[in-house]
């Protein structure tokens, strides 16, 4: 049974050298098709934070009472392409998320932050979901299920990785995927 699961998810379990090289070259270019690379007030984004490296804006289809996206200005396709050298980038995104939610007086216990893992993401530009609960519906909540790790894994089988799980995985020099990692 487990081999069947592995065969179904095998495209999501590892990153090829070619994909890594493509990501490095893409980081230098701004793709014409990437709506988050071009995020601005003029393009309809409600921007709540901006600095030299990051941008944060309200989610167009909020799943929770407060729902924001934090994106790096540098184009990075997804959480699957992050490496251990990207831990500081992820930690900075987390700090921005906590700052936004703190300004809204959202208690720590009512915060969820994480990334959807391809192919379960809608935009191919790294974006951290920053949410102040409650969720608007059970359907909305189901898109952000957090599966705890087991054994030597930081997370279980899931299409969403919580921010602290992502940091732990990257610090261990692993890659974030749908399967336990």
- Catalytic status, residue 127: yes
- Answer yes or no: are the C-beta atoms of 161 and 176 closer than 8 Å: yes
d(CA 69, CA 174): 24
Q: How far apart are CA 71 and CA 126, in angstroms?
A: 6
Of 2, 103, 115, 111, the C-alpha closest to 48 is 103
Could you tell me which of 173, 135, 141 has the C-alpha nearest to residue 160? 141
Which residue of the set 75, 125, 127, 129 is catalytic?
127
Residues annotated as catalytic (active site), given as ranges: 127
């Amino acid at each position: 049974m487990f081999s069947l699961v592995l065969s179904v998810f095998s495209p999501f379990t590892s990153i090829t050298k070619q994909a890594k090289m493509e990501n490095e070259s893409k980081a230098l270019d701004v793709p014409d098709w990437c709506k988050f690379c071009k995020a601005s007030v003029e393009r309809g984004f409600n921007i709540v934070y901006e600095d030299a490296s990051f941008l944060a804006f309200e989610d167009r289809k909020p799943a929770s009472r407060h729902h924001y996206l934090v994106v790096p200005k540098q184009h990075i396709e997804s959480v699957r392409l992050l490496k251990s050298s990207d831990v500081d980038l992820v930690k900075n995104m987390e700090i921005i998320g906590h700052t936004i939610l703190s300004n809204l007086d959202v208690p720590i216990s009512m915060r969820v932050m994480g990334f959807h893992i391809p192919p379960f993401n809608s935009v191919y530009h790294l974006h951290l979901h920053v949410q102040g609960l409650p969720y608007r519906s059970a359907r909305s909540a189901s898109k952000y299920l957090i599966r705890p790790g087991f054994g030597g894994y930081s997370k279980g089988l899931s299409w969403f990785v919580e921010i602290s799980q992502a940091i732990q995985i990257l610090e261990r020099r692993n890659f974030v995927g749908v399967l336990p990692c």
